[in-house]
Each structure stands twice: as structure tokens, then as C-alpha cells.
Structure 1
Amino acid sequence: MPDPFWFRVDAVTSFGRSLRDQWYLDPDLTYLNHGTVGAPPKAVIAEQFRLIEEIERHPARFMLRELADTSGEATEPSRLRRAAAAVAPFVGVRADDLLFVENITTGANAVLRSFPFDAGDEIVVTSLGYGGVTLAAEYAARTNGCEIRTIELPGPGAAPHEYVERIEAGLGPKSRVLVVDHLAATAALVLPLREIAEVCHRNGTLVLADGAHVPGNIGLDIESLGVDWYTGNLHKWAWTPRSSGVLWAAPEQRAHLHPTVISWGLDHGLTAEFDLLGTRDPTAHLTAPFAIDLIHSHGEGAVMSYNHQLAWWSGQFLADAWDTPFTTPESMIGSMVTVQLPPRLGGTAADAERVRTELDRQRIEVPVAAGGDRLTLRVSAQVYCDRDDIELLAAAVTALA
């Protein structure tokens, strides 16, 4: 099939399998699942180990006096605040407003479990939401006497405006908070978050955005999106070690926001509360600036462009190889793409696991999901992947079918 978008990557042809030796990934493994838990480069892991050694040379000084400031009397920024200052421009927030969390599930729990819901409020989720976060919303509803409302959203193939219209139509007068993905995990769709926030606010509904897959996947400017809270992972697409994420709250939502673990930072400001939650390994957060600098060294725009165009090409190539429909608009694809598998492979969860297991036996790592009596497969395109990986996957699935 024609390659109308591939020409754009000519300036970054050094990407692909030639970069695999910069990752610890098994060289005999076709790894197309970067999005699930990330995979930091060797250089990033080396920096994390350097920090571990620095901590162990004087643990008390590092952990108790340098890591975080819970007194407000420090004469220079703490280690975590310096890291926050380096990460903040990458995600489009002010350094003082960036909070580190272990992952987006932790960030979403912090918001949902500290928000002052009233009995009878609705917490709204969508059918594309990540299961763990949806469970957190259900728990918050249960403990606050709230109701859960689920809005059914279309899968791949719908136009961006259809997602906005579905959400607008699905909100009610008691809808207090909407939890919505910026980039839906299983469907791999970039949703029109700014427009969704606008219709929610017209209804008086606040917006908690799940950006688990966004930092490093597509360009991100959180403050421009108009949401009330945003949480995203750095350990997926931003090459940061596991586990590290960020949380941001609009100014009017900060007074009642607290981490799920209360410790020495209480009553010393929001950053102090989130920076010191007791003894934990801070090195993933502290390594994030190095990881982001490494992305910049390759060219942030070049990395995202290569990944996007490989994902976009993969969707068309695989659908053509398997004779399945692929109608997702390019504007809704970042660095991942979901493609329908041949119908003869089945449509149940058991079928999905059977296909995934068989691909695993062939040294291909890729997630397979069941839904709507069909199977889908999600490809993550990272700079160590190339067309050869996709062609190998196409052949393996064709042989299974």
C-alpha cells in the first residue's frame, strides 16, 4: 500500500532496530508493548544507579535533609523540587505546581479520595477508561454516597467531535466530576480533551484527565487544556524508570487536595505533602530530568514524529494484511495504534489470551484484547522499533489465522 506519511522521517533514519542495543530488551524479542509499563534506556538506568549509590553514601543526609523541604525554611530548592523544575516545561506547567506521584493511579486516587463530594453527586467515567482508575472512581462513589455514571464512547473509527458530543449528551445535572482519558489505553485513541473540558464546564462538571500514556507520546501543555486535574506517567513514554508520574491541579482545586498517604508535609503546602510521604525510593523521580534530556538529545519532535508515523503506517499495513477495517483518523493516533484481528481468531477473552500466548511463544510481545465479539491488538511504536517488526507481527498473526 502507499506510504504517504513515511517520507517525513527521512531526517531521523537512525531510529529503528539499530537503537536496540541502547535498551536492555532481549535482542531476540520483537517488543511492541512499550506503552504498558515502559522500558527505560540503559543510560537512564545507569543514572538511576548513580543516584542510588549517592544516597547510600549518606542516606540520612540525602533522605532527611536534601530530598524534600517540609519546613519551608530551606535556603535552596530540595532535590525533588529541582527535579520538578526540570520536568515542568516538558509537560507544560509551572515548576511549583508540579507534584510527583508514583503513577497515574496514585494521582487519580489522590484527587478522588480528597475531593469534597456531596451525597448524591455523580462521578462520571467512560467506557474507554482504564480499569484501575474506574475502580478508584467506584470506591470514591461508594465511600461518599455518590453515584457512578458511565458514558459509552465509540471505538476507533469515529470522528473527534463524536466523542465530545457523546460526553455532552451523557452528563446530567448532578455530574460533579468526569474522569476521562487523554489517550485511551486499550483503544489507543487521542481524545479531544480541550473540547471535552469545555462542554463539561458548561454543565458545571469538573474534569480529571488520565494522561497515563501522554508525556513523551504526544506534545503536552497541561495548562492549556482547561482541565481541573491532570495526571500522567513519566515511566511509559518519557523514558523514566518505574515508577514515576506527575499530578497537576488547577489553582481552585488545590486547597482540598491531599496525597493518599499523609505524612510530615501536612500543613506545609501542597508540594511538601506530595514530596515526603515517608521512606520510599525517590530515584525514579530524580532520574526523570536525565531521561527527558536524553529524549531532547535525539530531538523531542523527531522522536514523536518517528513513533507516530510508524504507528500510523502500522495500522494501515496490518489492517491491509489481515483484511480488517481501519478507519481511525490520523489526528487521533499518537505513538500507539489498535488494529482489529481477523474474525476467525475469535472474540472472547479466552481467545485473546490464546493469541497473546501463541505470539509470546514466537517471541513477539504485544497486548491482545477482546471486546464487542472481536479481538484487537495494540502496537506501541518506539524508536527501537521499525517496519521489520510490524511485518513479522503481520506474518505471525496471518499464520495463526
Structure 2
Amino acid sequence: MPDFLLDPDVIFLNHGSFGACPRAVFDEYVRWQRELERQPVRFLQRELPPLLADARQLVGEYLGARSHEIVFVPNPTFAANTIARSLALGPGDEVLLTDHEYGACQFAFDFAAKQKGFRVVQQPITLPVESNEAIVEQFWQGVTPNTKLIFISQITSPTALTLPVAQICQRARDAGILTMVDGAHAPGQIDVNLTEIGADFYTATCHKWMCAPKGSGIFYVREDRQAMIDPLIVGWGWGPNKTFHRENEFIEHHEWLGTYDPAAYLAVPAAIAWQREQVTPEVRQRSQDLVRQAVELASQIEGIERVHPDEFFRQMGLIDVTARCTDTDALKSRLHDEFRIEIPVIRWQDRVFIRVSAHAYTKRKDIEALVQAIQVI
């Protein structure tokens, strides 16, 4: 089994929240921190720009994009704020989301809407879903002549649902609507090709399923859309006398946020190398099978139900405990305190889900322990 730094006394079935970093990748992260501290001025002013360029090149190859269309950001929430505050949206305009989106990213648009006067519209996607075509058609019912931006997850956080983002982006392009895809849960869990997805904007974490250090994410802006996006943080990279020489103005404006620790970004290539070596298709399939087993076994308990057909989830799955749970905090606490299981309990709409995640370190006995704990509770 790959060497992770996880507490062996805890059954960790919550990779989807913050990920987990393998020892080899974490060691690379610490190595870059030490390099920074050896000679901070030399490292930050002279060595860092080409190092970031090399890292972006590898990320672009991994995600099917050109490196000059990608900048590193701390997380997708940062990117969502950048988009929400940059786009020329105003009264009468609408931003369309599903009702499955990650709360922090939706809040970024809610906040900007109060300032600019546009509307944030949530289009329901009912569960269980039947087909990709049905998802697209139901989502498209929310589109109006006022829709200027579609913001949608590739794999949803609260409901672990894989959405047909390429089909939605294509239909939006045909209609002249901008698209932003939240891919926080996608890279590392499924193969991602940004060129094929066709979104105008895409953001993802590297610290979740790619298993890079915390605080590493990417923000992709298609080249012909880059002039639309202002930097969220204005610093030296924006001014007339730029300190660093980069490939283009987009990177210059967005990647230099003042003094910061770039070690998490520079360790992303090590995470990609680790993924390619350790997370083979067989490992992904095994993790997916473990999640399916958890869902199937739990659904045999009276009052517990499954949510999605198997083809709509990957290494995260949902166990519907709505009929048996009235207090989500109490359930999560019991699972952790009594059974040493770290797993989220999520309230979505009027339903309660246990979201189970599996990765290379997950064992069959971990799944059995979860099901037994649910049975007891």
C-alpha cells in the first residue's frame, strides 16, 4: 500500500474533503520549503519564475491544456471569487448553477450579485438521476435569455454526482453563454482533458484526489477569455514595472500574490509523478469497487437507501440515512468518537447523506467497519 501520513488509529473515509498526502510527495514539499529558506531572495526573485513555469507545463500536460492558460491558486474558492468579481455582470443578468454546488463557491457569486445586481439562479437536478441526457435537459430548463454564465461542478461535492460537463459546455457555447467548471473533485479521480471539456474557465484542487500538499490548486482560463479576468489580488505582477518575466500578462497578473510559500505548487509535479506510478487504473477501480460495496452493504440495513446508480459516482458514494437520522452532527460525532471513523455527514435539501470516499490506502475492513457502525447506530 502507498505510504500515507494518515493516523493509523483512524479509519479515514473522507478523502473528498481535504485529500491526503503521500509521504513521498510531502517530502518533496518540505524540500522546497528548505530551498526557499536557504536563500529567500535568490529563490523568490530569480529561481521561482522558471520553476513555476516548469510546474505549469507538467500540469498542462496532465490536464490536457496549454501551460500559458493555467495559473496556480490556493483553491477553487479563490478562483470562483476571481471570476465572480471580474465578469461584467449587472442588473438583468443571471448566473446559472445546479442545486448541487459547493457552498463556498456559490457564496462568491452570491456576494458579487449583491454588489453588482445580477441574479444567481439554482436549477434543481433531482435524485436519482437517470441519464446524462436527462441531466442536461433538466439543467437547461434553467437557461433564459438573461443567462450569461453557467457555473457547474464536474463531480459535485455534497452529492458525489458526476455531471456531463462537456455536453453542457458545448450547448452553452452554441448559445453564446460562458462556462466555468468546478473540478475540485475531478483530477486524480477521473481523467481530465480541459480541451475536450471546452469550458471557458476551469478550476480544481491539486490537494484532493491528486494528493498534492494542501493549498495547491489550478485556475484555467482559455486564452481568448483571459482579457475578461482581473486579478483578485493586485500586486507587483500587475504594475508597469513588472518584477518577473513570464510568458504572458495573464500569468503575470494572477500568479504573484505578494510574498507567499510556493512549496505546495512546486510539489504538484511530484504528486503527478506519484499518481502515474501508484494510482493505476486498477487502483482506481478497486477504490470505486470499495465505495460500491459500502453503498450496497449499507443499503441492506432497514431504513438506509442508496442514491445514485453506480455509473454516476466514482471514488465517492452516498449512503442515504434520511429516514434514520435527525441530527447530522450527532451522527458524525458518534462515527468518529465511538468507532474512530472520519467521514462526512451531509445535509442536502431535505435529505441526509453519509459520503464515503476511498483511495489507495482504503481497505475492505474499513468498509466493513463503517457498515457495522451504521448498523449499530
TM-score range (shorter-chain normalised) is over 0.9
Alignment partner, residue 216 of structure 2: 244
Contact 2:293 2:367 in 1 (8 A): no
Alignment RMSD: 1.7
1:23 corresponds to 2:14: no
AA at the equivalent of 1:161: E
2:194 corresponds to which of 195, 198, 222: 222
Figure out how many residues of one structure are paired with residues of the other and give that number: 368
- Where does structure 1 differ by over 4 angstroms across 4 or more consecutive aligned residues? none
* 1:276-304 superposed Cα distances (whole Å, 9 cap, x missing partner): 11101100000000111011112442332
Superposition deviation, residue 53 in structure 1 = 0.8
Instruction: Please list, as runs of the form range in 1=range in 2, the aligned pairs for 1:335-354 lying within 5 A after superposition.
Output: 335-341=315-321, 343-346=323-326, 351-354=327-330
AA at the equivalent of 1:394: V
Q: Distance in 2 between matches of 1:374 and 1:275?
A: 40
1:185 corresponds to 2:157: yes
Q: Say which SS state the counterpart of residue 214 (structure 1) adopts.
A: coil
Instruction: Please list, as runs of the form range in 1=range in 2, the aligned pairs for 1:1-400 lying within 5 A after superposition.
Output: 18-19=1-2, 22-68=3-49, 78-266=50-238, 269-322=249-302, 324-326=304-306, 328-341=308-321, 343-346=323-326, 351-361=327-337, 362-400=339-377
Contact 1:295 1:303 in 2 (8 A): no
Superposition deviation, residue 123 in structure 1 = 1.4
AA at the equivalent of 2:38: R
Contact 2:303 2:324 in 1 (8 A): no
AA at the equivalent of 1:358: R
The 1:255–1:371 alpha-carbon spacing in structure 2 relative to 1, beyond 3 Å, is closer
Q: Say which SS state the counterpart of residue 248 (structure 1) adopts.
A: strand
Contact 1:168 1:199 in 2 (8 A): no
Superposition deviation, residue 323 in structure 1 = 5.3
- The TM-score with structure 1 as length reference comes to 0.88
* 1:122-155 superposed Cα distances (whole Å, 9 cap, x missing partner): 1122210110011101122222221221111113
Alignment partner, residue 12 of structure 1: none
- The TM-score with structure 2 as length reference comes to 0.93
The 1:80–1:186 alpha-carbon spacing in structure 2 relative to 1, beyond 3 Å, is same
Q: Distance in 2 between matches of 1:121 and 1:331?
A: 35
Q: Say which SS state the counterpart of residue 227 (structure 2) adopts.
A: coil
Superposition deviation, residue 56 in structure 1 = 0.9
Give the stretch that moved more between structures: 225-234 or 251-260: 251-260
The 1:169–1:358 alpha-carbon spacing in structure 2 relative to 1, beyond 3 Å, is same
* 1:249-272 superposed Cα distances (whole Å, 9 cap, x missing partner): 122211121331011222661112
Identity fraction in percent:
31
Q: Distance in 2 between matches of 1:39 and 1:109?
A: 25
AA at the equivalent of 1:229: F
AA at the equivalent of 1:233: T
Alignment partner, residue 244 of structure 2: none
Superposition deviation, residue 199 in structure 1 = 2.7
Give structure 1 stretches of 5+ with no counterpart. 1-17, 69-77
* 1:144-187 superposed Cα distances (whole Å, 9 cap, x missing partner): 22122111111344332222111111111101001111100010
Superposition deviation, residue 329 in structure 1 = 2.7
Contact 2:160 2:318 in 1 (8 A): yes
AA at the equivalent of 1:324: I
Q: Distance in 1 between matches of 2:114 and 2:353?
A: 32
